[in-house]
Amino acid sequence: MFESDANAVRQQAYVNGQWLVAEDQREQTVVNPATGETLGTVPLLSGVQIEACIEAAERAFYRWREVPARERCARLLAWYEQIRAAREQLARILTLEQGKPYAEALGEIDYAASYIHWFAQPSLLDTGATLPFAEEPLSMMVISEPVGVCAAITPWNFPAAMITRKVAPALAAGCVMIVKPAPDTPFTALALAELAAEAGIPAGVLNIVTGDAQEVGERLTGSPTVRKLSFTGSTAVGRTLMAQCAPTLKRLSLELGGNAPFIVCADADIDAAVQGAMLAKFRNAGQTCVCANAIYVADEVYQAFAEKLVAQVKQLKLGRGDEEGVNIGPLINRAALQKVEGLLAAAVASGATVQCGGERWSERWFQPTVLTDATSAMQCVREEIFGPIAPLVRFTDEQDLLTQLRAQEAGLAAYVYSQNLEKIQRFARHLEVGMVGFNTGIISDAAVPFGGVKASGMGREGGRQGIEEYLETKYIKLNN
Ligand code: ADP
């Protein structure tokens, strides 16, 4: 169904307004995770080509920062309109290279576009001040300026949204951006860049580079010209990149691994909690950083919740993302499948019980699985699963649960189902995470600050906070 889109994808990098191949013709292949078939190739740019991109971006920065903010935002709005008009084709490309069901891919394209719409508000740049306690009126003022040339390194699980929520605030602020998309999913990024060019975003302002991740990462982080890195991906790579940015003291936004607890209290509306868990757990086959990881269920409602969840999970339809009515697509690659299998086997060996699923489905899918008798000591509870397994952990005391959760390294998101306001307030204050959803399984929105604490990283994307990541503060003392 989507084969004609595979023929239409751009297979070059996009640098300074030009479509580029590697100077030594080296390429890497991109495969469809649902079939293993090659979709196409992208160039492995050389270090010299990456350096040339950084230089071109710097030249573009000094021009772009002089474009009035209202005009920059107008270009962003034009880009938004282009994406809206091409949403179906973009979603097909996304499904082809990433595997998620087409309906979810369409949802992602709309979500990705919403960040551009949100950040195309010049009023978000109203950040300056005059200081009224200055000795003379108007002698002390504070202005915001763009940080400069920025780099983004993005993951494969949201090939569109992880890019727009970095690029849109950067460009609105007057920065320019070099994006290195995940090697598994570069075609969505390149399609977005093509639309940006059609929307009148000037050459050099948005660049998409493809190549060996480590080499490109070293060039971008090592360059003194690049003033900021925004990274979304694993905590391990985040740590490496942070260290690589230390010599040049770059600004950093890091959105790293999560391990979101999903807590069902004894007073929860169980049907609503089951619906929320289905969304928080099984979206993108469990491969999102805010996915619920372990589900902690109060002893009193454990059995009822487990039965209802299993009944719902059994309804999920597995298949290729381009097939009608599919809920669960393939995992991104074999390594992901093996990881999930390993976590499941270890949990079962330690006493967990498989209530449904528990096996591969063909060679690229893992069946959505519910595990009961899971405990906090199990690896699948302590670590991010990133797959469609729901371990149910029984709890009896909320205070003990909170204490135990505080020991977790990650601190991205949490979900709590309860109808008791006092309890909600307690969880809201004491969970050490960047985001908490109460009585909902979906929390993201372009208008709110997305991000985590502790090993889940630093900085926020979206909301008013999202643009501050791309602004520097300058104080001016003005005597005459
Ligand atoms: P995931 O486990 O989600 O694939 P990664 O952290 O491995 O997360 O990858 C996220 C992004 O980081 C991808 O674009 C990947 O190519 C990139 N990446 C991985 N390793 C490095 C590295 N050493 N330097 C720079 N980028 C890297």
How does DSSP classify residue 396? Answer: S
Mean of the pLDDT values across residues 437-460? 98
For residue 274, what pLDDT is reported? Answer: 98
Closest ligand 1 atom, residue 332 Cα: 4
H or E element, residue 29: strand 27-31
CA distance 325 to 317: 7
Closest ligand 1 atom, residue 155 Cα: 10
For residue 344, what pLDDT is reported? Answer: 98
Instruction: Enumerate the domain spans of the chain.
Output: 5-256+456-478, 260-438
The encoded tokens of residue 105 equal 């891919």
Q: Which residues pair with 210 in a beta bridge?
A: none
pLDDT, one tens digit per residue, over 340-368 is 999 999 999 999 999 999 999 988 999 99
Mean of the pLDDT values across residues 64-86? 98
CA distance 246 to 257: 21
pLDDT, one tens digit per residue, over 87-128 is 999 999 999 999 999 999 999 999 999 999 999 999 999 988
Mean of the pLDDT values across residues 282-298? 97
* 424 pLDDT above the threshold of 60: yes
Buried b (16+ CB within 10 A) or exposed e, 161-186: bbbbbbbbbbbbbbbbbbbbbbbbbb
Q: What angle do CA 342, 344, 350 make, to 5 degrees?
A: 105
The encoded tokens of residue 155 equal 């993951």
Mean of the pLDDT values across residues 70-89? 98
Ligand 1 interacting residues, C-beta cut-off 6 A: 153-156, 180, 182-183, 213-214, 217, 233-234, 237, 240-241
CA distance 342 to 339: 5
Closest ligand 1 atom, residue 157 Cα: 3
CA of 433 to the centre of ligand 1 (A): 23
pLDDT, one tens digit per residue, over 384-419 is 999 999 999 999 999 999 999 999 999 999 999 999
CA distance 108 to 158: 7
Q: How many CA atoms lie within 13 A of 179 on its CB side?
A: 34
For residue 137, what pLDDT is reported? Answer: 72
* 168 pLDDT above the threshold of 70: yes
Q: Dihedral of the CA atoms 246, 433, 157, 338 (nearest 10)?
A: 100
pLDDT, one tens digit per residue, over 175-232 is 999 999 999 999 999 999 999 999 999 999 999 999 999 999 999 999 999 999 999 9
CA of 155 to the centre of ligand 1 (A): 7
Expressed in angstroms, the distance from the first to the final Cα of the chain is 70
Q: Is the ipTM of this complex over 0.90?
A: yes
Q: Which three-class secondary structure state does DSSP give residue 304? A: helix
Mean of the pLDDT values across residues 267-274? 98
CA of 362 to the centre of ligand 1 (A): 27
CA distance 142 to 172: 19
Percent pLDDT > 70 in the chain is: 99
- For residue 241, name the pLDDT band (cuts at 50, 70, 90): very high
208 and 42 Cβ atoms separated by less than 8 Å: no
Exposed, middle or buried: residue 208 (CB in 10 Å: 0-12, 13-18, 19+)? buried
Question: What single letter denotes the amino acid at residue 238?
Answer: G
Exposed, middle or buried: residue 297 (CB in 10 Å: 0-12, 13-18, 19+)? buried
H or E element, residue 416: strand 413-417
Question: Domain spanning 5-256+456-478: which CATH class is it, in words?
Answer: alpha beta
- Taking all residues of the chain, what is their mean pLDDT, rounded to a whole number? 96
For residue 348, what pLDDT is reported? Answer: 98
Q: Which residues pair with 435 in a beta bridge?
A: 413
Considering the domain 260-438 in this protein, what is its CATH number?
A: 3.40.309.10
Residue from 145, 178, 149 nearest 163 by CA: 178
Mean of the pLDDT values across residues 67-87? 98
Percent pLDDT > 90 in the chain is: 94
* 4 pLDDT above the threshold of 90: no
Residue 303 to residues 24, 123, 256, 265, 315, Cα–Cα distance (Å) = 61, 51, 33, 13, 19
Lowest mean pLDDT across 33-42, 121-130, 154-163: 121-130
338 and 366 Cβ atoms separated by less than 8 Å: no
How does DSSP classify residue 316? Answer: P
For residue 231, what pLDDT is reported? Answer: 98
CA of 237 to the centre of ligand 1 (A): 6
CA distance 236 to 170: 25
* 131 pLDDT above the threshold of 90: no
For residue 316, what pLDDT is reported? Answer: 98
Q: Which residue out of 97, 255, 384, 461 is catalytically annotated?
A: 255
- For residue 134, name the pLDDT band (cuts at 50, 70, 90): low
Q: How many CA atoms lie within 13 A of 308 on its CB side?
A: 16
Residue 364 main-chain phi, psi, to 5 deg: -125, -10
CA distance 376 to 397: 14
CB contact set of 25 (below 8 Å; sequence gap of 6+) = 43
401 and 407 Cβ atoms separated by less than 8 Å: no
The encoded tokens of residue 309 equal 């969840």
The encoded tokens of residue 410 equal 């990650």
Catalytic residue check, 384:
no
CA-nearest residue for atom 22, ligand 1, is 214
* 1 pLDDT above the threshold of 70: no
Per-residue DSSP letters for 176-192?
Answer: EEEEE--TT-HHHHHHH
CA-nearest residue for atom 15, ligand 1, is 182
